[in-house]
Copies of this chain bind each other. A is one copy, B any other.
Amino acid sequence: MSKKTGNRQKNKPPKVGKRHRKLGTAPGTVTYLGNREGSPSKIECITYDENDFEKRVIATPEELLKQPGAGQTQWINVVGVSDEQLMSRLGVVSDLNTLVVEDIVNTEQRPKVDEYDKYIFGVFKMLYLNAEQQIVKEHVALVLTPNRVYVYQEIEADVFDRVRQRILEKSGRIRSRGADYLFFALLDALVDHYFMILEQTEERLDQLDNEIYTEPTQHTAYKIQQLRKEIINLRAWMGPVKELLGRLIQSESTLITKDTQVFLRDVLDHAVEINETLHIQREMAFSLMEMYMSSVSNRMNEVMKVLTIMASIFIPLTFIAGIYGMNFSNMPELQWKYGYFLVLALMIAIFMIMVVYFKRKGWF
Contacts and interface: CB of A to CB of B under 8 A. Distances in A.
A287 B225 contact: yes
A196 B339 CA distance: 71
Contacts of A5: 210, 214
B291 A294 contact: no
Contact of A329 (B232, B329, B334): B334
B327 A17 contact: no
Interface in A322-348: 322-331, 333-340, 343-344, 347
Contacts of A337: 330
A328 B307 contact: no
B289 A294 contact: yes
Nearest to A341: B330
A176 interface: no
A94 interface: no
A295 B219 CA distance: 10
Given A218-B298, A311-B311, A331-B327, A293 B293 contact: yes
Interface residues of A, number: 118
Contact of A310 (B15, B22, B316): B316
Contacts of A293: 290, 293-294, 297
Contact of A99 (B189, B266, B322): B266
Nearest to A192: B23
B321 A328 contact: no
Contacts of A347: 323
A16 interface: yes
Nearest to A217: B298
Given A110-B276, A304-B300, A334-B328, A195 B19 contact: yes
Interface stretch (A67-75, A79-87, A136-144, A277-285): A277-285
Contact of A236 (B8, B222, B276, B317): B276
Contacts of A276: 110, 236
Contacts of A162: 23-25
Given A297-B300, A322-B318, A331-B327, A110 B310 contact: no
A132 B192 CA distance: 36
Given A291-B225, A294-B296, A26 B172 contact: yes
Interface stretch (A38-46, A48-56, A199-207, A249-257): A199-207
B294 A292 contact: yes
Contacts of A23: 162, 192-193, 195-196
A65 interface: no
Contacts of A266: 27, 99
B27 A188 contact: yes
Contacts of A163: 24
Contacts of A134: none
A225 B295 CA distance: 12
19 contacts: A17-B203, A24-B165, A26-B185, A215-B362, A221-B291, A232-B283, A232-B284, A233-B280, A236-B280, A296-B301, A306-B308, A310-B315, A311-B315, A314-B319, A321-B323, A322-B322, A324-B326, A326-B340, A327-B327
Q: Which 4 A-B pairs have the closest CB atoms?
A: A24-B162, A17-B199, A321-B322, A328-B340
